[in-house]
């Protein structure tokens, strides 16, 4: 009986040490290096944050493009809301157009935030979109797109200015 308890303890020690090591190990945390704030305002479609203003119909606050640095790679993250105001059946979505250092341009569509307004009231959807993580990101442009009721042919309603990665000097 004494031998089996000792053997059990000897086998249990490496398991406990391994478990403690796994608990202590955590994924790298993102560090926000810079935040660019902006809004895109069009006739029935907007990107920003907060509520829509009572008179203007524009977002009361700006949306954010955060430049997260994770293990030496840039992960641009778009945060805010997309709005449909006074448009029945219209659909809206955002895209992030990323230009890399070598000149390659890639468009990423946020399918998680696209939605359609069932009636002419004000509708919104939250945006939290970070489609890419790369050391080679040079700049990002955000596009707000809409599609008419009954069709899924999206057209660009408005776009942000290009926002350059914090290290990039054009």
- Looking at residue 75, what is its pLDDT? 95
Element (H, E) at 29: none
> Sorting pLDDT into bands at 50, 70 and 90, what band is 38?
very high
∠ CA 34-39-42, rounded to 5°? 160
| Tens of pLDDT, residues 67-103 | 999 888 999 999 999 999 888 888 999 999 999 999 9
| Cα dihedral value 30, 35, 37, 40, nearest 10 | -50
pLDDT(162) > 90: yes
Mean pLDDT of 145-151: 82
Q: 């955000």: which residue's tokens?
A: 142
- Looking at residue 81, what is its pLDDT? 95
Q: 């305002």: which residue's tokens?
A: 41
Full set of structural domains in the chain with CATH: 28-164 (2.60.40)
Residue 54's Cβ-side half-sphere holds a number of Cα atoms within 13 Å equal to 0
**Total-model pTM:** 0.79
Which residue did the predictor score with more confidence, 38 or 148?
Answer: 38
């Amino acid at each position: 009986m004494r031998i089996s308890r000792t053997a059990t303890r000897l086998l249990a020690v490496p398991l406990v040490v391994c478990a403690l090591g796994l608990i202590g190990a955590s994924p790298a945390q993102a560090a926000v290096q810079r935040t660019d704030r902006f809004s895109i305002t069009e006739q029935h479609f907007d990107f920003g944050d907060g509520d829509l203003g009572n008179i203007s119909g524009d977002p009361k606050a700006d949306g954010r493009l955060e430049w997260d640095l994770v293990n030496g790679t840039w992960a641009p993250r778009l945060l805010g809301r997309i709005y449909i105001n006074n448009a029945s059946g219209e659909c809206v979505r955002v895209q992030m157009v990323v230009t890399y250092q070598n000149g390659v341009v890639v468009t990423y569509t946020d399918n998680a935030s696209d939605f359609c307004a069932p009636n002419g009231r004000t509708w919104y959807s939250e945006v939290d979109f970070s489609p890419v993580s790369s050391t080679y990101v040079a700049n990002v442009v955000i596009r707000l797109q809409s599609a008419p009721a009954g069709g899924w042919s999206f057209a660009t309603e408005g776009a942000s200015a290009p926002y350059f990665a914090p290290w990039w000097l054009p």
